[in-house]
Structure 1
């Protein structure tokens, strides 16, 4: 086929690393396992626990660029967490941070894919809903695929039960499985140029 093997850099917080998952897979591992590619798929997770979009914006380009190669089809997955709410960042600042990341990726001709923040504590639900919607809008304006994990999971019994069974912040196996399902069913295969396996 002459196509280059895929190499994905997944940048984000502890959710990218699968923290809290007894199987150690997180949503990234589950999605990778359900992504059949002709050549070996390389997925590199670059996680910083508790990171805001400000911190992410400051580091992602250098860290991801070091892992890409001229001999691979390099792509960026931006997995956004909830830390902007905890840190008190304004929606305008959060939007600008994501916009800058996506704009730099576009300048580098690196296709991007954005996964929004999942629900956490109910105390932050309204702010997280607003943050997720703001991120979705930034991605849509740039025609970048966006996975809304907040809306489908905010009142999902299995998600809420999984959070409650743990520390109330990190999901376990069930929660990460739900996040993976949402990613796989929101344009993932199309973005990678792969046939949808009906995952």
Structure 2
């Protein structure tokens, strides 16, 4: 990391906001708590519950531009949700929406990190797996770090139990903890230019 303080804008839906977490941290708060920098890291959460990638793509650039400054090391974290499945967004359109975000960020020289959607409702399982893989392919083709939260959690008993204990859609404390663990152990510190101290 250089001399500039890190400033991260985290864009996404209710999963980025930590909805359903009784501790109010979500995965973003847990990751931020385990990311030690000098000077201290600033994390700005820009969440819109229920948002599709189409809506996210329409707002992210303006919203982050208002929060980035030349005096900070500005970075973008894209937390992808599952709302494209309910919103009638085709797989091709979902891919294009993410590709557009990543391409614009690249043109603005904003380093980007992508967190894929976790498992949700049982009736979405197959389509959500396809969506996660498509997002991963888009990010990988552009050399952008991608965290697959779907594959390791789809059959994870603790994750499924955490969903079942709530509304069946949003994770609780344990589920967000698992998402945070995956982020921290999938290149997070390397992306930030920090030593890997997550153990």
**Interval containing the TM-score (normalised by the shorter chain):** over 0.9
How far residue 114 of structure 1 moved from its aligned partner, in angstroms, is 0.2
- Cα distance between partner residues in 1 of 2:2 and 2:163: 44
* Structure 2: distance between partners of 1:2 and 1:104: 23
Structure 1-normalised TM-score? 0.98
Q: Is the 8 A contact 2:6 2:40 kept in 1?
A: yes
State the match for 1:145 in structure 2.
Answer: 145
Structure 2 residue 104 is matched with structure 1 residue 104 = yes
The runs of 5 or more residues in structure 2 that have no matched partner are none
> What per-residue deviation string (whole Å, max 9, x for no partner) do you get for residues 114-137 of structure 1?
000000011000000000000000
Q: Could you tell me how far 1:198 is from its partner in structure 2?
A: 2.8
- Output one character per residue of 1:137-178: Cα deviation in whole Å (capped at 9) or x when no partner: 000010000000000000000000000000001100000000
- 1: CA distance between counterparts of 2:49 and 2:18? 11
Q: Which residue of 2 aligns with 1:39?
A: 39
Alignment of 1:107-118 (within 5 A): 107-118=107-118
For normalisation by structure 2, the TM-score amounts to 0.98
Q: In 2, Cα distance between the equivalents of 1:53 and 1:169?
A: 18
Alignment of 1:13-52 (within 5 A): 13-52=13-52
Question: C-alpha distance in 1, partners of 2:101/2:155?
Answer: 30
Note the C-alpha offset of 1:2: 5.6
Pairs aligned (count): 199
- Measured against aligned partners, the alpha-carbon deviations of 1:174-195 in whole angstroms (never above 9, x if no partner) come to 0000000000000000000000
Q: Structure 2: how far apart are the matches of 1:53 and 1:123?
A: 20
Q: Report deviation, 1:89.
A: 1.1
2:167 is aligned to 167
How far apart, in 2, do the equivalents of 1:184 and 1:131 lie?
Answer: 22
Worse-matched range after superposition: 101-110 or 83-92 = 83-92
The gaps in structure 1 that reach 5 residues or longer are none
**Corresponding residue for residue 80 of structure 2:** 80
Q: Which runs of at least 4 in structure 1 moved beyond 6 Å after TM superposition?
A: none
RMSD: 0.9
Mapped contact 2:34–2:198 kept (Cα < 8 A): no
Work out the CA distance in 2 between the residues paired with 1:80 and 1:54. Answer: 11
8 Å contact from structure 2 (residues 4, 73) kept in 1: yes
